[in-house]
């Protein structure tokens, strides 16, 4: 079945450091890929998405590229801020993601220190 | 973007009682909503798919008589945790899709 694997956290960085959170997936067909962020005590917010191979999703300085050849969707940010501290979830949805359920990775906790 | 509102954001109840959680799509109609459960420091696990006007579809291992789902209108789905026990304490999150999934803010349930 479909699955998502994320790098284990927590990831601890200093402010302005470069961030990479690895995400790989297993899926049949052509899934849509997502990154969601969860701030403490809150629900999930869509951070960025990509719906087909080679698409690059970007938002708030974060970006991720849909790599079909490596089945990956790694999240990157060039310079993190303390306010980026949160849990990040990689997810996939088959059939375009419109009305289908999401399959989540385990989540990666990011802590950014001043 | 689309807004999904979940209520209450937190609730404490006594063991054996039932708790209802509401999930509303505020600015769009949602024929399908999803209910997830999240244990501390773990990922979200899909519990069930809520379908407007018909029965919910439950994931394997989820007790449908324990977690009652009603989706009576295009903007409201409810999850009722019946005869709650301490092991039901968790963070419950709903989502509704309009193109992509938008999540409610979650409900933290504590059963004492």
Residues of chain B positioned with their CB less than 8 A from the CB of A105? 43
Confidence at residue A97, expressed as pLDDT on a 0 to 100 scale:
44
- Whether B100 sits inside 8 A of A97 (CB atoms) is yes
Which band of pLDDT confidence, cut at 50, 70 and 90, is reported for residue A98? very low
What pLDDT, in 10s, does the model give residues A72-92? 999 999 999 999 999 999 999
Beta carbons of B23 and B77 less than 8 angstroms apart: yes
State both tokens at B14. 């006594």
Which tops the pLDDT comparison, A65 or B99? A65
Residues of chain B positioned with their CB less than 8 A from the CB of A32? 100
- Whether B101 sits inside 8 A of A105 (CB atoms) is no
Lowest mean pLDDT among A21-35, A96-110, B74-88: A96-110
d(CA B27, CA A32): 24
- Whether A89 sits inside 8 A of B93 (CB atoms) is no
Residues of chain A positioned with their CB less than 8 A from the CB of B49? 101
List the single residue in B6, B31, B97 with the smallest CB-CB distance to A43: B6
Secondary structure E strands in A1-114: 3-6, 11-14, 19-21, 23-26, 32-38, 44-50, 56-59, 62-65, 75-77, 86-93, 103-104, 108-113
- Considering only CA atoms, give the Rg of chain B: 13
């Amino acid at each position: 079945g479909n699955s998502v694997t994320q790098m284990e956290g927590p990831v601890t960085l200093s402010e302005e450091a470069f961030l990479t959170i690895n995400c790989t997936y297993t899926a049949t067909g052509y899934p849509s890929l997502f990154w969601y962020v969860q701030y403490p005590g809150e629900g999930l917010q869509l951070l960025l998405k990509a719906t087909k191979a080679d698409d690059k999703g970007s938002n708030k300085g974060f970006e991720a590229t849909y790599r079909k050849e490596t089945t990956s969707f790694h999240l990157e940010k060039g310079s993190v801020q303390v306010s980026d501290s949160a849990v990040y979830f990689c997810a996939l949805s088959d059939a375009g993601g419109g009305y289908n359920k999401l399959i989540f990775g385990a989540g990666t906790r990011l802590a950014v220190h001043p | 973007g689309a807004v999904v509102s979940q209520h209450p954001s937190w609730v404490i109840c006594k063991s054996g009682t039932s708790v209802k959680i509401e999930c509303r799509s505020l600015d769009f109609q949602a024929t399908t909503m999803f209910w997830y459960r999240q244990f501390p420091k773990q990922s979200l696990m899909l519990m069930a798919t809520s379908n407007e006007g018909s029965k919910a579809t439950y994931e394997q291992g989820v007790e449908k008589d324990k977690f009652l789902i009603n989706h009576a209108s295009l903007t409201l789905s409810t999850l009722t945790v019946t005869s709650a026990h301490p092991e039901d304490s968790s963070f419950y999150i709903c989502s509704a899709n309009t193109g992509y999934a938008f999540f409610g803010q979650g409900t933290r349930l504590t059963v004492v």
